[in-house]
């Protein structure tokens, strides 16, 4: 992290808000804003959270699903344990088949929602980072196809670019409706958008 990045982060409204409200990341506000707008996660839901570290989205999900719900968090990085009993963490790479198998093993039943805030390590070369991000979004879609119940929802981050339209077309094939969401809490210069697939049609 460069000095200017750290300086900018300290000035950032959502970063300070997250610190004050005891959230593990500012990213939680993007998820909460989307849930408020589209209601795609509900009380009692079973949620798979891909790219979950450090855990802001897990906290946002727990707030929404309550004690009756369940959150399965997945990341290649380790995550500080949660005190809530209805969170399980799997350390694994979403591109690997063993991770999908582990997710299927640990889910109590088919998931109501799969969410993905997966991000690659940024190289700084736009085309490379865009392609890596889209690859992670396809990995997330693959996991969603294998774990969602019929009618379930899918929420995934992408960086906008040449490859986005093909990805959105793939999501449209699998879900009844698709929305494109640009959170207020995204950093100003960011090209990230979230694709929301509503109503999984079921795997064919
Ligand atoms: C932006 S962070 C997620 C922040 C999180 N939503 C939160 O609110 O705390 C992106 C995460 O994706 C994870 N990630 C990147 N590539 C991955 C992969 N192939 N498999 C699993 N996790 C991956 C990173 O380790 C990182 O923790």
Which pLDDT score is estimated for 191? 84
Which pLDDT score is estimated for 10? 60
* Annotated domain spans of the chain: 27-200
| H or E stretch at 150 | strand 148-159
Ligand 1 atom with the shortest distance to the CA of 49: 6
CATH T-level topology, domain 27-200:
Rossmann fold (3.40.50)
Token code pair at residue 122:
């940024």
Question: Which of 27, 49, 51, 87 for mutating ligand 1's site (highest number of atoms within 8 Å of CB)?
Answer: 51
Which pLDDT score is estimated for 7? 62
Which pLDDT score is estimated for 117? 97
* 157 is an active site residue: yes
* Regions of the chain short of the pLDDT cut 70: 1-11, 187-189, 204
Which pLDDT score is estimated for 1? 57
For residues 46 and 70, the answer to whether their CB atoms sit within 8 Å is: yes
| Whether the model pTM is above 0.85 | yes
Residue 165 Cα to ligand 1 middle (Å): 23
Beta strands in the chain (DSSP E): 46-50, 70-75, 87-91, 111-116, 148-159, 175-181, 192-200
Summarize pLDDT for 95-117 with one digit per residue, the tens.
999 999 999 999 999 999 999 99
Which pLDDT score is estimated for 115? 98
Question: Which of 57, 62, 63, 76 for mutating ligand 1's site (highest number of atoms within 8 Å of CB)?
Answer: 76
Number of C-beta neighbours around residue 122 at 10 A: 12
Q: What is the Cα–Cα distance from 137 to 201, expressed in whole angstroms?
A: 18
For residues 64 and 42, the answer to whether their CB atoms sit within 8 Å is: yes
């Amino acid at each position: 992290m460069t000095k200017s990045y750290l300086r900018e982060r300290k000035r950032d409204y959502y970063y300070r808000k997250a610190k004050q409200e005891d959230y593990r990341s500012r990213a939680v506000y993007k998820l909460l804003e989307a849930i408020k707008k589209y209601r795609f996660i509900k009380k009692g839901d079973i949620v798979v959270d891909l790219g979950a570290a450090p855990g802001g989205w897990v906290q946002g999900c727990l707030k929404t699903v309550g004690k009756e719900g369940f959150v399965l968090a997945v990341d290649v990085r380790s995550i500080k344990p949660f005190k809530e009993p209805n969170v399980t963490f799997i350390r694994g790479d979403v591109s690997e088949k063993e991770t999908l198998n582990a997710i299927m093993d640990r889910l109590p039943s088919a998931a109501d929602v799969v969410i993905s805030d997966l991000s690659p390590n940024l190289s700084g070369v736009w085309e490379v980072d865009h392609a890596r991000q889209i690859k992670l979004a396809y990995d997330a879609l693959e996991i969603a196809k294998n774990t969602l119940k019929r009618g379930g929802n899918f929420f995934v981050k992408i960086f906008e670019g040449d490859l986005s339209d093909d990805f959105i077309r793939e999501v449209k094939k699998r879900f009844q409706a698709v929305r494109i969401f640009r959170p207020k809490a995204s950093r100003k210069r960011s090209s990230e958008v979230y694709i929301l697939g509503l109503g999984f049609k079921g795997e064919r």
